[in-house]
Amino acid sequence: MVRKNLKKISKSEKLKEFIKKYKVPPEYLSTNRKMVSKAVFIGIFIAFIPMPMQMLLVLAMMPFVKFNVPIGLAMCWLSNPFTMPPMYYMEYLTGSFFLGSEPLAVEMTLEWFSHNIDDIFIDLYTGTLFYSVVGALGGYWLVNHFWRGSVERDKKLHRKDRKS
């Protein structure tokens, strides 16, 4: 279903005009399985990194990796102002667990965070690495799995239609 919707959108005249007007390389808007799965991987990987301006990091990946940029940008919004506190807290606790350190009592305030960043930095980014890799690989696998399943279902339906 997602695959069919992406195909419809990519045939849109408004999209074609936008691409022509702003001279966007069409490969960055390609909606094939490889481009979409790479976009999901990059977007989710960056979404778990506690840093400002994650979207700029997605855009900075463009010269190095070809992927569907709008989907990559959308995926990095998995971390948004509502999801960031629980995500980063979970990453901190996971990093503390992996490193065997005792987690500090956390207060969800910018003041606490700025005073304690030196104490939690290594634990936080250890957990970040874990969730970034696991989340990105999981997203990549899911896109590929469901995309291939969709193609197989379409082939079976097409075969049945030809026999009828």
139 vs 29: CA distance, rounded Å: 19
pTM of the predicted structure, to 2 decimals: 0.83
Residue 8 has what pLDDT? 59
CA angle 139, 142, 143 (to 5 degrees): 85
Residue 113 has what pLDDT? 84
23 vs 20: CA distance, rounded Å: 5
Cα–Cα nearest to 131, from 48, 40, 72: 48
Q: Each residue of 16-69: pLDDT tens digit?
A: 676 777 677 777 877 889 999 999 999 999 999 999 899 999 999 998 999 999
